[in-house]
């Protein structure tokens, strides 16, 4: 075609090109500047991210050639797929060597990635590493955090937190709650996450702070602190777990997820049993035999018990049963044959509900058959009951079967079985069976009862449960309220026994006293006490006791804890007796045979009343002179008793008063001087040799004096006879005095105790004092009356009077004597210088 092109066409094309060149030539030559974008001013980086909905695109255009530049800037934003989001064009004049800052703002930017393209047209400069005429960026608007709870996983674990391996939660398991949560946003977020568990008896709350990464899934785990119990499907019971995110992003409300679950039974054994009767032709009373096959097909070993019970509750077999998982065994069972049903069952460990854990075998034969002859339940005797009492269960039964048989009443309390004695009953005969059981627990005691027989049938319904109310043990408190002592009865005390509410009781009552650490019980007897206060008084008598004691013991019953004895001290106050004889008799100096009165004072100086007694008066030889009864003396009382006697012989008579009272004897002695009589003698010893010698000397003196008087009468009278007359009479007076000295008694004082003794005036020799037994010499007192007066005058000058401190008897003792003195009346010895 080109070859065939005409020359005219070529010329035409050239002319057009020339015209275009001419038109454009003035425009190019008019500006000529060079505009570029400063790279350092572009603030958006490659893969730039931002969060706000507005996007800012800043950069700076600079002129590099020295001429003004006219340019057009175009900005285009589109999705990665090419969908245009924004398209903006702007014209700028950039002055020579000047710069123009540019900042574009685009609103409502979508989330995710976008493309940004910036281009320039017009007077463009030269690009290099620092200057460009356009650029593009991949930008991303970040999505905010967007949380969600995806699901909850329940992991069964044991106490230590290790998984149990159970597919589902089983009874006794603990739990790990694993919550899966997702963040759909491009920003991470932190929140508090809680896990609440509620159900049956479990109520727990757990919390943890979780940081959610951008666009990630996070698992949070919570461990339960409680084990879980099996839920009961019959009542639609279950557990609830609630997971909550408490502070989610502002664009979301509170997030939560609720899940419910049930807890299955623990791993269980599965028991399958079969009971086979071996001797089916057995007769009543003989031995029936069975084989019992047992297999465990469950999940765990079986550890429980196996029991076989015949009709009426009589146990034929009861043993522990340990059977490993996957094992079977066979057990032989035997029982006394009688009509009824043998039932075997396992107990003590839970098994699967589909287990065959109870099997039975029925026996039928000709035998006795027993029914209730009265009440269909046993009568309970002996109530009301307290802990420790015996309860008696009694029932009337009748044999209505086909032959004779034996029957018993069986009672069981907490696994303890009591059986009555076997009762043999002929056809149509009736009788009573009874058994007594001690009640050992308080409250309602459950008694399982039944009639049983080794060779007979028991009618249906003759078994059941009785509830026996048992109160606390009765308390029995012994007390001693008062202890007394008196002179008549001695020791006595009042006792009380307080029996708690209930029934009357028989006790051993012992009453006595404690003497020197040993208890003595004069009263020891069995008595019956009734609820309330029983009181009495017991007289022990006159015994040596420190305390009185009451002690009790129960007879066939149990006393509640507490004291079973009481003790109380015996009062120490006693009468304080004293007896005192009056030192003066009436008359003062009686003679032998005189009727004489002796006054005796008896006293009770104690704080308690005394009793009556008897007083006796005896002489020095112990001869009873008189006796008299004494009346009761009150506390602090004293009495005077006057006794009359015939005065015994002796110059000095010692009398003793003996007061017999309260099994004691109190005495008081007193010496009395008798009056002068021919038959009376002093209590001192007079040596016979001294008396004879004194009489001889006295006779010689009298003879000499008479001879002198005779000679004087024969002499002639002197020139002064009148002056001699008195002298002639003086010997006569002396003679008379000497002559009468044998009859006259004089008093001499004992130099030791100053006791005054009466001795013959003419006696010279040894004398013994009856008070202090001192022997001393005395000389004849046959001097003139003038000499006696002189002696008396000297004695008056050299003696002093002292009084007895006990009876006030006056004594005369030498002035310079400071020794002991004995009172002749009351026999009290005291110091003479103490007056």
How many Å separate Cα 93 from the centre of its chain? Answer: 107
DSSP-derived secondary structure letter, 833: G
Edge-to-edge strand ranges of the sheet holding 595-604: 577-581, 595-604, 638-646
State the SS3 of 236-253: CCCEEEEEEECCCCCCCC
Q: Residue 475 has what pLDDT?
A: 86
Mean pLDDT across 672-678:
73
Say if residue 656's pLDDT is above 70. Answer: yes
Query: Quick one: what percent of the chain has pLDDT higher than 70?
Result: 83
Cβ–Cβ under 8 Å, residues 765 and 748: no
Mean pLDDT lowest among 59-68, 164-173, 766-775: 766-775
Structure-block tokens of residue 809: 């008897």
Dihedral angle of Cα 429, 430, 436, 442, to the nearest 10 degrees: 140
C-alpha pair distances (Å), 504 with each of 387, 500, 785: 15, 10, 102
- Per-residue pLDDT reduced to its tens digit, 14-50: 544 444 443 444 343 334 799 999 999 999 988 898 9
Q: How far apart are CA 256 and CA 195, in angstroms?
A: 10
The answer on pLDDT for 103 being more than 50 is yes
Answer whether 501's CB lies under 8 Å from 531's CB: yes
Task: Provide the CB-side half-sphere exposure for 132 (13 A, CA).
Answer: 12
pLDDT grade for 676, boundaries at 50, 70 and 90: low
The band of 802, judged by pLDDT with boundaries at 50, 70 and 90, is confident
Average pLDDT, the chain: 82
What is the structure's pLDDT at 793?
Answer: 47
Element (H, E) at 741: none
Cα 207 to chain centroid, rounded: 45
Q: What is the pLDDT of residues 226-261, one digit of tens each?
A: 888 888 766 667 889 999 988 888 777 778 898 888
User: What is the per-residue pLDDT for 705?
Assistant: 64
Q: For residue 426, what pLDDT is reported?
A: 93
If 0-12 CB within 10 Å is exposed, 13-18 middle and 19+ buried, where does residue 108 land? exposed
Which pLDDT does position 562 carry in this prediction? Answer: 83
Number of residues assigned to the chain? 835
3 state SS of 65: coil
Residue 687 tokens, joined: 């040596």
Question: Average pLDDT for residues 442-469, to the nearest whole number?
Answer: 90
pLDDT at 725: 38
Sign (positive or negative) of CA dihedral 153, 159, 160, 166: negative
Q: In the structure, what pLDDT confidence band is assigned to residue 804 with cuts at 50, 70 and 90?
A: confident
106: left (phi over 0), alpha (psi -120 to 50) or beta: beta
pLDDT (average), residues 322-334 = 92
| Tokens found for residue 580 | 């005192």
HSE (side-chain half, CA atoms, 13 Å) at 725: 4
Mean predicted confidence (pLDDT) in 309-332: 85
Q: Are strands 55-63 and 775-778 parallel, antiparallel or unpaired?
A: unpaired
* Residue 400 pLDDT > 80: yes
Q: Is the pLDDT of residue 761 over 80?
A: no
Q: Are 582 and 606 in contact (CB under 8 A)?
A: no
Q: Is the pLDDT of residue 175 over 60?
A: yes
Q: Given pLDDT bands bounded at 50, 70 and 90, which one contains residue 576?
A: confident
Taking the CB of residue 416, how many other CB atoms lie within 10 A of it? 9
pLDDT, mean of residues 310-318: 75
Q: Which residues of 368-393 are buried (b: 16+ CB within 10 A; e: fewer)?
A: bbbbbbeeebbebeeeebbbbbebeb
The 147-157 sheet, strands edge to edge? 147-157, 174-183, 217-223
Q: Which two tokens stand for residue 787?
A: 């000499």
| pLDDT of the residue at 246 | 86
What pLDDT sits at residue 445?
92
Q: What is the pLDDT of residues 69-100, one digit of tens each?
A: 999 999 999 998 889 999 999 999 999 999 99
Between 535 and 804, residue with greater pLDDT = 535
How many angstroms separate the CA atoms of 125 and 442, rounded? 114
40 φ/ψ angles, rounded to the nearest 5 degrees: -65, -15
Of the segments 188-192, 735-739, 827-831, which one has the largest average pLDDT value?
Answer: 188-192
Lowest-confidence pick of 264-268, 532-536, 751-755: 751-755
The better pLDDT of the pair 748, 461 is held by 461
Angle, helices 721-740 vs 688-714, to 10°: value is: 160
- Given a contact cutoff of 8 angstroms between Cβ atoms, the answer to whether 157 and 109 are in contact is no
pLDDT tier, 699 (very low <50, low <70, confident <90, very high otherwise) = low
Secondary structure (3-state) at 679: coil
pLDDT at 564: 87
- A 10 A CB-CB count for 310 gives 23
Whether 694 shows a pLDDT value over 80: the answer reads no
By mean pLDDT, which of 438-452, 481-495, 522-536 is the weakest?
481-495
What was the pLDDT predicted at 64? 92
pLDDT of residue 703: 65
**Strand partners of residue 259:** 241
Alpha-carbon torsion, ordered 248, 249, 253, 259, to 10 deg: -30
Q: What is the pLDDT of residues 596-610, one digit of tens each?
A: 999 999 998 887 787
């Amino acid at each position: 075609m080109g070859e065939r092109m005409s020359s005219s066409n070529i010329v035409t094309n050239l002319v057009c090109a020339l015209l275009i060149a001419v038109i454009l030539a003035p425009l190019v030559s008019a500006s000529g500047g060079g505009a570029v974008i400063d790279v350092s001013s572009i603030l958006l980086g490659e893969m730039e991210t931002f969060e706000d909905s507005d996007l800012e695109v800043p950069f700076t255009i600079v002129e590099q050639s020295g001429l003004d530049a006219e340019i057009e800037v175009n900005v285009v934003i589109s999705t990665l797929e090419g969908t245009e989001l924004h398209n903006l064009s702007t014209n700028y004049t950039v002055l020579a060597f000047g710069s123009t800052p540019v900042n574009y703002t685009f609103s409502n930017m979508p989330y995710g990635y976008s493309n940004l393209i910036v281009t320039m047209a017009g007077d463009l400069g030269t690009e290099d590493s620092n200057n460009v005429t356009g650029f593009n960026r991949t930008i991303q608007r970040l999505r905010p955090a967007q949380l969600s709870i995806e699901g909850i996983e329940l992991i069964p674990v044991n106490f230590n937190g290790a998984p149990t391996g159970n597919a589902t939660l089983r009874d006794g398991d603990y739990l790990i709650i694993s919550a899966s949560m997702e963040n759909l946003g491009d920003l991470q977020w932190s929140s508090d996450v809680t896990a609440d568990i509620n159900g049956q008896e479990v109520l727990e709350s757990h919390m943890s702070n979780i940081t959610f990464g951008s666009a990630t899934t996070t698992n949070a785990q919570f461990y339960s602190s409680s084990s879980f119990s099996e839920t009961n499907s019959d009542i639609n019971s279950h557990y609830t777990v609630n997971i909550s995110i408490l502070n989610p992003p502002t664009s979301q409300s509170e997030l939560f997820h609720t899940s419910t679950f049930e807890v299955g039974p623990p791993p269980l054994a599965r028991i399958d049993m079969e009971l086979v009767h071996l001797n089916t032709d057995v007769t009543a009373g003989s031995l029936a035999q069975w084989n019992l096959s047992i297999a465990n097909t469950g999940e765990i070993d079986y550890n429980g018990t196996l029991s076989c019970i015949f009709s009426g509750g009589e146990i034929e077999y009861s043993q522990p049963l340990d059977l490993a998982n996957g094992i079977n065994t066979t057990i032989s069972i035997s029982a006394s044959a009688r009509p009824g049903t043998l039932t075997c069952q396992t107990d003590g460990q839970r098994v699967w509900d589909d287990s065959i854990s109870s099997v039975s075998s029925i026996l039928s034969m000709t035998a006795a058959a027993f029914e209730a002859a009265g009440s269909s339940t046993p009568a309970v005797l002996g109530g009301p009951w307290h802990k420790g009492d015996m309860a008696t269960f009694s029932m009337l039964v009748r044999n209505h079967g086909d032959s004779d048989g034996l029957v018993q009443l069986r009672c069981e309390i907490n696994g303890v079985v009591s059986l009555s004695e076997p009762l043999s009953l002929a056809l149509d005969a009736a009788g009573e069976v009874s058994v007594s059981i001690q009640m050992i627990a308080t409250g309602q005691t459950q008694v399982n009862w039944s009639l049983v027989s080794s060779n007979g049938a028991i009618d249906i319904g003759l078994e059941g449960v009785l509830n026996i109310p048992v109160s606390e043990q009765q308390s029995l408190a012994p007390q001693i309220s008062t202890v007394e002592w008196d002179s008549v009865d001695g020791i006595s005390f009042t006792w009380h026994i307080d029996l708690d509410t209930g029934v009357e009781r028989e006790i051993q009552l012992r009453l006595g006293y404690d003497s020197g650490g040993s208890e003595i019980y004069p009263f020891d007897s069995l008595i019956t006490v009734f609820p309330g206060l029983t009181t009495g008084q017991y007289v022990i008598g006159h015994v040596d006791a420190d305390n009185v004691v009451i002690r009790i013991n129960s007879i066939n019953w149990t006393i509640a804890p507490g004291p079973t004895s009481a003790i109380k001290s015996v009062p120490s106050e006693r009468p304080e007796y004293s007896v005192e004889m009056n030192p003066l008799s009436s008359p003062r100096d009686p003679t032998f045979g005189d009727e004489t009165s002796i006054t005796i004072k008896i006293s009770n100086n104690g704080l308690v009343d005394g009793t009556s007694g008897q007083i006796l008066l005896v002489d020095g030889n112990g001869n009873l002179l008189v006796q008299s009864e004494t009346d009761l003396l009150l506390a602090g009382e004293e009495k005077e008793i006057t006794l009359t006697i015939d005065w015994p012989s002796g110059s000095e008579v010692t009398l003793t008063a003996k007061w017999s009272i309260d099994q004691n004897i109190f005495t008081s002695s007193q010496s009395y001087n008798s009056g002068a009589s021919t038959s009376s003698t002093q209590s001192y010893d007079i040596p016979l040799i001294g008396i004879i010698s004194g009489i001889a000397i006295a006779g010689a003196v009298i003879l000499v004096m008479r001879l002198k008087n005779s000679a004087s009468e024969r002499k002639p009278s002197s020139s002064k006879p009148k002056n001699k007359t008195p002298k002639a009479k003086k010997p006569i007076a002396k003679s008379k005095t000497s002559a009468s000295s044998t009859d006259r008694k004089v008093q001499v004082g004992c130099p030791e105790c100053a006791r005054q003794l009466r001795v013959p005036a003419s006696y010279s020799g040894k004398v013994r004092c009856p008070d202090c037994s001192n022997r001393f010499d005395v000389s004849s007192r046959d001097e003139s009356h003038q000499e006696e007066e002189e002696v008396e005058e000297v004695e008056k000058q050299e003696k002093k009077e002292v009084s007895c401190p006990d009876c006030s008897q006056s004594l005369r003792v030498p002035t310079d004597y400071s020794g002991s003195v004995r009172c002749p009346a009351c026999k009290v010895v005291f110091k003479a210088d103490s007056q």
